[in-house]
Structure 1
């Protein structure tokens, strides 16, 4: 739902930007900056959504040839690496960046930069949650160790 709302607001912002520039001959100063931040938020929330649905790209042709035990171990190692990356870069790094820029004013919007950077820890926490969820599902045997990336043939 967040991705749909962000995309809709992004489209409306860009449409207004083009309309104001081309039709009204008076470009809006705030639309460009808002569109940039909306695009970043949409990208990060979209990445978290794709990760949650196990729709990310995986080069897994070697792993699929391994015995089931090694395939599970590899999948768990990958999930652990994703948790480490998300915790270090997105959550910890995102909080540090947000904290350092909390009072920094934006030129085109009546806001500060810090709250806009909170998208990093938010999506990092979502990714960590789903990495743990998928790891537990693989351990229980509820999910395949490697997501099915083959296209469905009708």
Structure 2
């Protein structure tokens, strides 16, 4: 399972780096066309917005998988270690439930509903943009399961 996690981390990492590079080029082109030609490109603006949504969702899953997300550990730090491990376990279950019910299930339904609506400037289905929600939800569920296994082994 460690190997799968490391491969998934690397894929998401490279994907987010690629998105950031493409966004940098798109926004630079947008600024260039706005100030030098006085005619901003609607396509680059819309595409950079969509890529930003993807960057946020995949980046959030990546940070969650590395356990570098913000967490409030005020209560957990004040209880004995065994109860703290129980808190961590419950927290991972709640996060996995949220990711499954809201992100994967709800995100999938929203994605399917939006596949018929086309973006005006890019001429792609809006559902393509929404697809980042259930996909990142699947990643978060995987990371939650990985964390649950490690918590049960007391690795974390």
Is 1:58 matched up with 2:71? yes
Count of residue correspondences: 143
Q: Which has the higher helix share?
A: 2
Aligned to 2:120: 107
The CA deviation at 1:60 is 0.5
Unaligned 5+ runs, structure 2: 1-13
Match of 1:33 among 39, 46, 64: 46
Structure-2 separation of matches of 1:31 and 1:78: 40
Structure-1 separation of matches of 2:78 and 2:53: 37
Q: Which runs of 4+ in 1 moved over 2 A?
A: none
The CA deviation at 1:61 is 2.3
Structure-1 separation of matches of 2:24 and 2:130: 21
Unaligned 5+ runs, structure 1: 144-154
Deviations 1:109-130 (A, max 9, x none): 0211112211001100000000
Give the TM-score normalised by the residue count of structure 2: 0.88
Structure-1 separation of matches of 2:27 and 2:104: 30
Kindly report which structure 2 residues correspond to 1:40-55, keeping only aligned pairs within 5 A, or say none: 40-55=53-68
CA RMSD of aligned residues (A): 0.9
